[in-house]
Amino acid sequence: MLFDLDGTLVDTVPFILACVRHTFEEYGTGPTDAEWTAGIGTPLGIQLGQFARRPEDVPALLERYRVYWNAHHDASTKTFPGARETVEALAAGGHPLAVVTAKTVHGAVRTLAHTRLLPFMGAVIGADSCARCKPHPDPVLLALERLGAAPGRAVLLGDSSHDLASARAAGVLALGAAWGVSTPESLRAAGAGRVLADIRELPGVVAEMVEDGMRAP
């Protein structure tokens, strides 16, 4: 069982937007909340580059973002209701778990440790774990390799089109998380085999899929 992190396990989109506003507040121009939200799931440096006036401005913007993120992370980071209980139940059921995120591994581990999810994860794959990030299949395939799992026996839950595209390209069943940045309609259009309204639905869905030979529900 593979998870995206921001917008799927942890309710951090408002915090991400606060980081972005701070990053660009002295820059003169910057993205709207809607423009940034549309790109969530893209590695931070790449996304900042889309709104920087010059490529050479990106390192300073990245540093400003990270300073703010580090200072406010713990106070602004929490799991979605039912997320920890869901992860715990899946782990207790014998399902190997991993996170596949556009965060760096360092940032993802900090978030997982703060929310007490880290002990359940057999692998944490970040934007710096391989050469190509989501929507490419590489991060998903690396997570499966570290878990010793085959794509045909795996599921990924994510809230963005990047998550679903990465899963599908890797041959993994893709489930949409409708409590994140995307609407149910956009998740279905991106190829979600099923869209969940609440993360607490996940153990039942996984149980159905295992009984049905891992066919898409």
174: amino acid identity, one letter: A
In the block, residue with structure tokens 């590489």 = 138
Catalytic residue among 4, 11, 138, 159: 4
Would you call 11 a catalytic residue per the annotation? Answer: no
Q: Could you please report the per-residue DSSP string of the chain?
A: -EE--BTTTB--HHHHHHHHHHHHTTTS----HHHHHHTBTB-HHHHHHHH-SSGGGHHHHHHHHHHHHHHHHHHH--BPTTHHHHHHHHHHTT---EEE-SS-HHHHHHHHHHTT-GGG-SEEE-TTSSSS-TTSSHHHHHHHHHHT--GGG-EEEESSHHHHHHHHHTT-EEEEETTSSS-HHHHHHTT-SEEESSGGGHHHHHHHHHHTTT---
Residues whose CB falls within 8 Å of the CB of residue 18, separated by 6 or more in sequence, listed in order: 68, 72, 76
Active site amino acids: 4
